[in-house]
Amino acid sequence: MKRIWLTGASSGIGAALAEELLSAGHRLALSARSVEPLHALAERYGEQVLVVPGDLTDAKQVHTIGQHIEQAWGALDCVILNAGTCEYVEVSQFEAAMIERVVSANLFSASRCIEVALPLLRKGQRPHLVGVGSSVTYLPLPRSEAYGASKAALRYLLQSLRVDLAGEGIDVSLVSPGFVDTPLTQKNDFPMPMRWPVQRAARYIAERLDKRPHEIAFPTPFIAVLKLLGSLPSRLQLAIGRRLARNEETP
Ligand SMILES: NC(=O)c1ccc[n+]([C@@H]2O[C@H](COP(=O)([O-])OP(=O)(O)OC[C@H]3O[C@@H](n4cnc5c(N)ncnc54)[C@H](OP(=O)(O)O)[C@@H]3O)[C@@H](O)[C@H]2O)c1
């Protein structure tokens, strides 16, 4: 059974993935800012759960989490960097601070976690680093400047780390979900084709983690369409993006 650090475990994909991995018998260190959902899992799964709450945009809190895991377990076999947020850009009021906020939550938080996780992974069994990106990275979508930039950067960070960590035997996987029904997407007021229930998404991810693929992307038809559109000439991508933006204006 693995020792896994899972971030963003208080809600959505992270909470559902925690259930999957705990039912499979793994030990989980669970992070998020909201502690109640983490304690609820600890009550149900007892010593399998280590509650390590904190704000991952705060480097000190991330280091405290790392120390806590080291004292309790001494090592990690897997890290799943799932915590994230989404805000949409209003281009008429373009706000650099918002881009920084989203990039901090989605990219810099991940790199802070990687900094504290790597020494623990190096002491673990068959170490595996996993990051939750997004299918948004296949195609530039309207109002997704901040979210898309953060996830595209996360994709590159993980793909590059895969190269550099291969020599040490640390595998790196990227998870690229399409739309999943979570509190994050329940705020969206535009059509979300092929949106999956969160338990289905969590099971899909959990079932594939053991094989350590480079990427776990779903739903397959949705990803195929995005990849196809993303391979079109940029003037066609622009036309598609503008059409999608118009659709968003008329829900
Ligand atoms: N839902 C989708 O359709 C979809 C699609 C593609 C990718 N994703 C990605 O999947 C991941 C999970 O998203 P979700 O849909 O499950 O969203 P969610 O329900 O809003 O969950 C986000 C999780 O991240 C945690 N989190 C956010 N900011 C944090 C911070 N500063 N410090 C610590 N924890 C933080 C939240 O916990 P607290 O608020 O308690 O801190 C929560 O547990 C995200 O990376 C998201 O970008 C989602």
> 216-242: per-residue pLDDT in tens?
999 999 999 999 999 999 999 999 999
The CA distances from residue 244 to 20, 144, 183, 250, in Å, are: 35, 12, 22, 10
What is the secondary structure of 43-70 as a DSSP string?
HHHGGGEEE----TTSHHHHHHHHHHHH
Q: Which of 114, 119, 48, 49 is nearest to 81 (CA)?
A: 114
Find the CATH number of the domain harbouring 14.
Answer: 3.40.50.720
Q: Which of 45, 44, 81 is nearest to 62 (CA)?
A: 81
Residue 229 CA, ligand 1 centroid: distance in Å:
26
Torsion of CA 186, 191, 192, 197, to 10 degrees: 50
Query: Residue 210 and residue 126: Cα distance in Å, rounded?
Result: 10
Residue 9 CA, ligand 1 centroid: distance in Å:
8
Mean pLDDT (the chain) is 96
Q: What are 130-166's pLDDT values in tens digits?
A: 999 999 999 999 999 999 999 999 999 999 999 999 9
Can you give the pTM of this predicted structure?
0.97
Query: Residue 138 and residue 129: Cα distance in Å, rounded?
Result: 22
Q: What are 167-220's pLDDT values in tens digits?
A: 999 999 999 999 999 999 999 988 899 999 999 999 999 999 999 999 999 999
Helix axes 109-121, 59-73, angle to 10 degrees: 20
Q: Which of 180, 156, 14 is nearest to 83 (CA)?
A: 14
Report yes or no: 21 and 28 within 8 Å, Cβ to Cβ: yes
Query: Candidates 6, 7, 11, 179: which one to mutate for ligand 1, based on the most atoms within 8 Å of Cβ?
Result: 11
Query: Residue 158 and residue 114: Cα distance in Å, rounded?
Result: 10
Query: Residue 196 and residue 220: Cα distance in Å, rounded?
Result: 12
Residue 240 CA, ligand 1 centroid: distance in Å:
28
Domain membership of residue 79 as a residue range: 3-249
Q: Which one-letter DSSP state was computed for residue 210?
A: T
Q: What are 30-80's pLDDT values in tens digits?
A: 999 999 999 999 999 999 999 999 999 999 999 999 999 999 999 999 999
Domain count, the chain: 1
